[in-house]
A and B are shown apart, each in its own frame.
Chain A
Amino acid sequence: MPEGAIRLKGTSTEIVALCDGVRSVEDILIILKAKYPAKDPAELETETMDFLETLRNKRVLDF
C-alpha cells in the first residue's frame, strides 16, 4: 500500500490471503466458517466485516 505497511497476524493474514479479487465477501465468510466451526458464526461475520471495513477505509481494498 502507498506510504505504509500493515503488519498482519493470525487470521488477518488468512483473510487477506483470501482476498484475490475474484472471491466475494460471502465466499470468504463461507470458507472461514468452514475452517473455524467452533467459532460463533455471527461473531466471525462481524469480526471479519470490521476487519475488511478497516482495510477499505485505509483504501487497501474495495468490496
Chain B
Amino acid sequence: MASAPLSLILELTHRCPLHCVYCSNPLEMQARQNEVDTETWKRVIDEAANLGILQLNLTGGEPTLREDLAELIAHGREKKLYSNVITSAVGLTEEKLKQYVDAGLDHIQLSIQDAQAGPANEYAGTKAHALKLKAAEMIKKFKLAFTVNMVIHRQNISRLEEMIELAIGLGADRLEIAHVQYYGWAFKNRALLLPTSEQVKKSMTIIYAAQERLKGKVRIDFATPDYFAKFPKACMGGWGATTILIDPAGRVMPCHSAMVIPGMVFDNVRDQSLSQIWEKSEAFNRFRGDGWMKGPCSSCDRKAVDFGGCRCQAFLVTGDAAATDPVCSLSPKRPQIKELIETANGAPISSSPQEWIYRKLKDTSS
C-alpha cells in the first residue's frame, strides 16, 4: 500500500550550460523536442497537490531555460505547494528572477562548485563561477529563502573551509554540502572524485564545527559520503515512499537514477494520471516495502531504518538491484567498496580538465 508522497521533483529539461563532472542527470539525456509541455506539467501539479504533495522542486538541467518556469511556479502557488528552483544561475537575469518571485517562488538553490574560480570552472566544464557570485547578490535583493549547494569531492575537499566561508559571505540562509553520490556522470568519473579516508574524516570535523558555530544563523545540511559509512543511507526515505521524480520526457520515477536498473519500465504522465502511477506502476512497486529483500536485509533490525540502502547503488556495484547496498558493513559485497577506498587512499590527488569525462547532450540542436 502506497503512503502519501511529500515531494515532487520535476526535471523540466536536461539542457544545461554546465557540464559538471558529477552531474546526477542520466547518461542518456532527453533532447528539447521530447520535453513535456506546459499544460501537461500544470495537470501534473494539480494531481500532485491532490495526492498530498507539499513540495514542488523545479530542476533540470537548468530549469530557467524553460520559458514557462514562472507560469509553473504560479500554478504551484495556486495549489499551495512550496516551490523550489534549483539553478546554476547561468542565464538567470534579475528580470526573470523577479517574475519567479512575483509568481510565488519560496526558495532558490544555487550551485557553487568551488571557492576558487579556476577549479570551479574546471569541474563545471564552463566558466560560470564569477557569474554565480553575481547571481547570489541578485538573489539577496529578493525576499526568498536562499540555499547554496556545494558538492565536495577528492579535488576540492581541501578547500572546504573556504567554501563554507564563501557561502556565508554570499548570504546563504542554508548551505547544503553533499559528498558526490556515485551515479550517472559521477560514476564515470569516480576515480577522480572519490576522496581518501583522511579527507573524509577531516571534512566531517570541519562540517560539525561549522554547524555548531552557525547554529541558529545558517543551517548546514550535510549528505554523508556513504562509501565511508558503516550503514547505507535511507535512500529517498525508502523506494516509492516519499518522492516522485519526473524526467523532461514525462517518465515518472522513484529517484533520479532509477533508469540504470535493468528492466525498469517507467509510466509517463502523458498517458496516465500521477496517482495511478504512484499507486499502481510496476516501477514504484518493485522495491516498495520489504517483500523484495533478501539476506542479510530481510532479517536485519535496520531494514525499517535504511530500507536496505540504495537500489541503484546495489545494481551499479554488485550487478543485482535487489542486493543489500554494498556500502553496508553487513553486505557480502562490502570488500569491493573497501578495495575502491584503498585504491583512493593510495593514489595521488590531482586532476586536469583532460582527465574528466564531461556530460554533453548528444542533440546539439536544442
- Residues of A at under 8 Å CB distance from B? 1-3, 5, 53, 56-59
Contacts and interface: CB of A to CB of B under 8 A. Distances in A.
Contacts of A56: 216
Contact of B216 (A1, A2, A3, A57): A57
A2 B82 CA distance: 8
Contact of B176 (A3, A53, A58): A3
A58 B147 CA distance: 13
Contacts of B216: 53, 56-57
Contacts of B106: 2
A59 B82 contact: no
19 contacts: A1-B145, A2-B84, A2-B106, A2-B109, A2-B145, A2-B174, A3-B84, A3-B176, A3-B221, A5-B6, A5-B54, A5-B55, A56-B216, A57-B215, A57-B216, A57-B219, A58-B219, A59-B218, A59-B219
Interface of B: 6, 54-55, 82, 84, 106-107, 109, 145, 147, 173-174, 176, 215-216, 218-219, 221
- In order of increasing CB-CB distance, the 8 nearest A-B pairs are A59-B219, A2-B107, A56-B216, A5-B54, A2-B147, A2-B145, A5-B6, A57-B216
A12 B71 CA distance: 34
A6 B61 CA distance: 29
Contacts of B82: 1
B337 to A, nearest CB: 27
Q: Label chain A's interface by main secondary structure.
A: loop
Contacts of B176: 3
A17 to B, nearest CB: 16
A53 to B, nearest CB: 8
Nearest to B220: A59
Nearest to B82: A1
B6 A59 contact: no
B110 to A, nearest CB: 12
Which among A2, A5, A53, A59 has the greatest number of chain B C-beta atoms within 10 A?
A2
B216 to A, nearest CB: 5
Contacts of B55: 5
Contacts of A59: 173-174, 218-219
A52 B178 CA distance: 27
A1 B216 CA distance: 15
A57 B173 CA distance: 11
A27 B102 CA distance: 32
Nearest to A2: B107
A58 B214 CA distance: 11
Nearest to B217: A59
